[in-house]
Amino acid sequence: MTAHAVFITHRTKPGQRSSAEALWNKIMKPAITANPNHLAYVYTLPVDEPDVIRAFQLYRTADDAAAFLRTPEYLEYAGAVGEHLDGPPHVASAPAAWVKP
């Protein structure tokens, strides 16, 4: 299987993680669920880091990952969540070398 992995870490302003999560649930969760190019998506709230959100995304291709960033839903989310974040997210991506079928 050919796939493209994206790893994201958001740092929220102190005490703002629940507000960022609420926006993700409202805007992103339905958009991701409806996107056939998201092969997998894991959204995490680390217990030992109360101001951190981590996500793992697996797309069919790097182009699919880039295209998602241009969707109206993503643009709405990015505009709304910024007030809750302590700077831009850390994003790393790479072609998937192996994916469990």
Cβ-based burial of 89 (10 A; exposed 0-12, middle 13-18, buried ≥19): middle
pLDDT tier at 1, thresholds 50, 70, 90: confident
Q: Residue ranges of the domains in the chain?
A: 4-95
Query: Which CATH number, 3.20.20.70, 3.30.70.260, 3.30.70.100, 1.20.1250.20, labels domain 4-95?
Result: 3.30.70.100
User: Rounded CA gap, 4 and 26, in Å?
Assistant: 25
User: Contact at 8 Å (CB) between 37 and 60?
Assistant: yes
**10-43 pLDDT, tens per residue?**
999 999 999 999 999 999 999 999 999 999 999 9
DSSP state of 78: H
The residue to which tokens 């709230």 are assigned:
45
Does pTM surpass 0.85?
Answer: yes
- Tokens 């994916």 locate to 99
